[in-house]
Chain A
Amino acid sequence: MRTLTYAQAIREAHAQMLARDARVFVIGQGLWSPWYAGSSLEGLDSEFGCARVVDTPVSENAVTGMAVGAALAGLRPIVFHPRMDFMLLAMDPIVNQAANWSHLFGGDSGVPLVIRAAINRGGEQGAQHSQALHAMFMHVPGLKVVMPSTPADAKGLLMAAMADPGPVLYIDDRWLYAESGEVAAEPFTVAIGEAAVRRSGSDVTLIGISWMASECMRAAGILEGEGIDAEVIDLRSLKPWDKETVAASVSRTGRAVVADGGWRTAGASAEIAAEIYERVFDHLLAPVARVALPDAPAPASRAEEQAYYPGAEQIAATARAVLALGTDGRTKRAAA
């Protein structure tokens, strides 16, 4: 099978959807410039025309609202936010309108909309060019949220989002754009709501989201060298998320580390940890541990960025700490 980068896979999904369905169009900022979207949208404007690949003024709220209206009028829009931070200006059309519409109007009017947001952080860009805000949207009934970490999922989840009858927030990560992997050439979908077990293991379950799923794989490699056999689950979808796969894994390993590139408090990692406790409490050998961003705005300086963003080393260290709690973590903690 061919190898594509994550960004190329996103582009291929766009191209195939635009080619096979006249209802599909892409709208948002930076669509005619490689600066905004990297190679993930490269050349789509010349291939499919500027009427269907629409680079817009800086009007996040109205552009997103237009995408909602166009979806209600029978088109299949992808509205693109090259930086998720800016998408906060579009909260009304996403949360009040798109997420509620089908419910409010008795189920007759779905909003088949893909909202694509890129997390674009690091590089000394500071707190308003860094944020991973997926947990805010995971909170909202009526929205689906997907966050691919591999090139194949980047393509398959985008095509699944497009096929979904409701609004789907598709969050990609610029840190993953250069990752390469095998991607089928024909159109395909990856089911929304299904996690992927990237590595089987018996000692501890590492559950990762997006970029942190790839860091979990690196952490598992580090741990393997120490004789620790980690299972890695790439969540892929945050809403709905695959509680069964996570619960089955943790009930087997008895230990879980949740790794998320968002903030800790009320973050995705908190939701996953809570669900693990509710589902498999009796199987846990140690408390669920979380690796997430500190509850602080993103820094700008390189030194601070390195301290702020956790990665494979922190995940591995957390896994070691969880394993050190022994075979009955609860008893041991109570004694300590």
Chain B
Amino acid sequence: MRPETEWLVERWETMTLIRRAEERIAEMVESGEVRCPCHLYIGQEAVAAGVCAALTTADTVWGGHRSHGHYLAKGGSLAGLFGEVLLKATGCARGRGGSMHLAAPEVGVRGTVPIVAGTVPLAAGAAFAYKLRGDEMVAVAFFGDGALEEGHVHESMNLAALYRLPLVLVCESNLYASHLHWSERRVADNLHRAGEFHSVPGQRVDGNDVVTVHAAAGAAVERARSGDGPTLIECRTFRWRGHVGASFDLDVGVERGGELAEWLPRDPVRRVADQLIERGVTDLPQRERAIEAQIDSAVEEARAAPQPEPEIEETLCAR
């Protein structure tokens, strides 16, 4: 189905916001201003933008180490993100977590953590709570392809299917777990089938196409909300930067083969921009400048903000 132009402009704006914010973070990593480990999402923007467009504000998302995109797509504030990567008191986790620990409960970003797939059972538990209470809410777990090699993800899929939980499992399959290609970790390229044994239906979609991602997520969210249980979506995509940091290398000290050159033309942001230009939308440059201005202002706000008070709270042992 052909999306409305206005809807597509909004998705382009979300993806552009993620892209530009992360490019700014990359610069700040390279300059040394940002010191905490940052795992950039550049190249995968269509997944966060497509999935989050299928959610209500009350629905919750749970992420991992590479979650700047999830946070922004769900509506987390730019100032909170830049404050957090700079470990300022105004950060979204008050400067306690850094890039890997983002939260914006007011818009449903419940938490992101770097323990691989650490939030998958938590998302299932939130879904359990929604179901027990009769809330019409859905929990979404975002994780990478490496996460499906964790046992508790399979435990979670079984439990979510057994209890018919309103859970959507979004696997962002960017081919690499840190520096290891999927073929170095698995015999078969079949992650979208990982739920079959647990009676969790799955499908693989083009993770660089926001319209396709949104359609798959919409169906999964509808299924979850109507009480039919969890769905697994494998979004095939690619990260342009290294596992961690700003470099385009595969990982720290690991150079890439020719893959990046194959993926750059599939740029998910460019793809939507091209469609919009074809439809006669002419104001993308202005919109992009407005986004840049928002980022400038958030960065300045974060730079000016104080660091958290260096208080180590021994609340539990202080007696």
Contact = CB atoms under 8 A, between A and B. Distances in A.
Interface of A: 25, 51-52, 54, 56-57, 59, 61-75, 77, 92-93, 96-97, 101, 103-109, 141-144, 193, 239-244
B126 A70 contact: yes
A65 B120 contact: yes
Interface of B: 60, 62, 91-97, 101, 103, 105, 110-111, 113, 115, 118-130, 132-133, 139, 151-152, 155-156, 158-159, 162-163, 313-314, 316-319
A242 B35 CA distance: 40
B97 A104 contact: yes
Nearest to B106: A108
Q: Determine chain B's interface SS by DSSP, over half rule.
A: mixed
Q: Give the top 7 A-B pairs by smallest Cβ distance, nearest first.
A: A69-B125, A65-B121, A106-B94, A62-B155, A66-B125, A69-B122, A73-B129
Nearest to A107: B94
Contacts of A242: 319
Contacts of A65: 118, 120-122, 124-125, 152, 156
Contacts of B159: 56-57, 59, 62-63, 66
B220 to A, nearest CB: 18
A93 B96 contact: no
B318 A240 contact: yes
26 contacts: A54-B163, A56-B159, A57-B155, A59-B155, A61-B151, A62-B121, A62-B159, A64-B121, A65-B124, A65-B152, A66-B122, A69-B125, A69-B139, A70-B125, A73-B130, A73-B139, A74-B129, A75-B132, A97-B118, A103-B313, A104-B97, A106-B91, A106-B92, A106-B93, A106-B95, A108-B103
A108 B94 CA distance: 10
Contacts of A103: 96, 313
Contact of A72 (B91, B95, B126, B152): B126
Contacts of A96: 113, 115, 118
B101 A105 contact: yes
A73 to B, nearest CB: 4
B124 A62 contact: yes
A241 B152 CA distance: 33
Contacts of A97: 113, 115, 118-119, 122
- Most chain B CB atoms below 10 A, which of A51, A72, A92, A103: A72
B95 to A, nearest CB: 8
A183 B110 CA distance: 40
Nearest to A192: B316
B298 to A, nearest CB: 18
Contacts, number: 150
Nearest to B110: A72
Nearest to A140: B316
Given A65-B156, A92-B118, A143-B316, 4 more contacts: A61-B151, A69-B121, A75-B132, A105-B96
A57 B158 contact: yes
Nearest to A142: B316
A66 B189 CA distance: 29
A72 B122 contact: yes
A306 B156 CA distance: 41
A241 B119 CA distance: 31
Contacts of A108: 103, 105
A243 B317 CA distance: 10
Contact of A92 (B97, B115, B123): B115
A64 B152 CA distance: 10
Contacts of B128: 66, 69-70, 73, 75
Contacts of B94: 105-107
A190 B54 CA distance: 47
A62 B117 CA distance: 11
- Most chain B CB atoms below 10 A, which of A61, A66, A72: A66
A202 B176 CA distance: 67
Contacts of A67: 125
Given A75-B129, A108-B103, A61 B123 contact: no
Contact of A144 (B124, B163, B316): B316
Contacts of B93: 104-106
A229 to B, nearest CB: 27
Contacts of B125: 65-73, 77
Contacts of B122: 65-66, 68-69, 72, 93, 97
